[in-house]
Amino acid sequence: MDIYCAYCAETLLSTCPDPPTTLNVGESVAQRKRRTLVAPDMNLSLDQSEGSVLSDDNLETPDDLDINVDDIDTPEETDSLEFINNDDTPVATAKHLPGESEEERDSSGRLWRTVIIGDQEQRIDMQVIRPYLRVVTHGGYYGEGLNAIIVFAACYLPDSSCEDYTYVMENLFLYVVSSLELLVAEDYMIVYMNGATPRRKMPGISWLKRCYQMIDRKLRKNLKCLIIAHPTWFIRTVLAISRPFISVKFMDKIRYVHTLEELSQIIPMEHVQVPECVLARARLQCLCVQNRHDTVTQPNAG
């Protein structure tokens, strides 16, 4: 491992501008060309994440979850890249209602957004999700055209012990599903920042399944890669548990990277907003590697 990986990546990111705090949903695709947009947060676990231990780092062995991953069945190879949908969950084609503004206040001054998901009108409580808008950001583009990079920073997710957790997650869920179409024009990839995330903030499996099912089919097809940065044993196990309702081809789109330097070799980092806690973790990782290297190379005294 390159011991300077974390510092190199941090230097690369140090000149990045602060992310904007609002998303202009009234722009056309042409107006959005080559601009960095703010993606709405995409956290949302409709079940509360369990445990209060720090991320998967505290799981030493598979026995901690009492799960036999090898016993989990996987679907047969198919042409589908989607979750297997066995219910009547409506697929989202989210639009603002004609003539309505992006956000509106009720008589008490609370902010709301009205969208249509499937054929149902939904109201999103913008006030309650405002603290979590950094969960998902637009990280610029890769390759030719409008191939978007969507960055999901799990460390910004609400803690499962917070007040009204389920209500917050439900509104975040609706916000993500209704906003993804505004952030993606063509093909896209998702970068999942898993580092420095307590397990109690990780989204649950049922949320992941429901969220993917409700995304428009075209967007599901256009997802080219899911990059998981700083993967841990726990997140790998969650993905293994998810295999019964995820196709083999979708699993093939998942790629793991262990350092920010490795990530920078895959995508341009100019507009990727890396959380400070992830940078701090990378610095600590780099120092540990440096210390081990110094111990090995230090000449014996005498």
pLDDT tens digits for range 86-142: 444 444 444 443 333 367 888 888 899 988 776 678 899 999 999 998 888 899 999
Confidence of residue 300 (pLDDT cuts 50, 70, 90): low
Please count the other Cβ atoms lying within 10 Å of the Cβ belonging to residue 25.
20
Provide mean pLDDT across the span 50-76: 42
Supply the pLDDT for residue 118: 66
Give the amino acid at 9: A
Chain CA centroid to CA 142, Å: 17
Rg (CA), the chain: 20
Residues 229-284: pLDDT tens digits?
Answer: 999 888 888 888 878 877 788 889 999 999 999 999 999 999 999 999 999 988 88
Domains of the chain (ranges, CATH numbers): 5-9+28-86+132-206+217-266 (3.40.525.10)
Region for 31 from its dihedrals, namely left if φ exceeds 0, alpha if ψ lies in -120 to 50, beta otherwise: alpha
Distance of CA 159 to the CA centre of its chain: 16
Long-range Cβ contacts of 290-298 (<8 Å, 24+ apart) = 290/3, 293/3
Who's near 296: CB < 8 A, 6+ residues apart?
A: none
Q: Which of 175, 203, 231 is nearest to 44 (CA)?
A: 203
Please check whether residue 188 is in contact with residue 147, taking contact to mean a CB–CB distance below 8 angstroms: yes
* pLDDT higher than threshold 80 for residue 54: no
Residue with the bigger pLDDT between 205 and 302: it is: 205
* Alpha-carbon span 130 to 15, nearest angstrom: 26
Percent of the chain at pLDDT exceeding 70: 64
Buried b / exposed e over 186-212, threshold 16 CB at 10 Å, is ebbbbbbbbbbbbbbbbbbeebbbbbb
Q: Region 71-97: what's the mean pLDDT?
A: 40
Task: Check: pTM over 0.75? Answer yes or no.
Answer: no
d(CA 248, CA 224): 14
45, 204 Cβ separation under 8 angstroms:
yes
Q: Which amino acid is present at 172?
A: L
Q: In which band, very low, low, confident or very high, does the pLDDT at 294 lie, cut at 50, 70 and 90?
A: confident
Question: Which of the four pLDDT bands, split at 50, 70 and 90, describes residue 44?
Answer: very low
**In contact, 206 and 47? CB cutoff 8 Å:** yes
How many whole angstroms separate alpha carbon 77 and alpha carbon 247? Answer: 7
- Please report the DSSP string for 157-183 in residue order: SPPTTSTTHHHHHHHHHHHHHHHHHHH
Q: Give the integer Cα–Cα distance in Å for 9 and 143.
A: 20
Beta bridge partners of 223: 188
As a whole number, mean pLDDT of residues 25-51 equals: 43
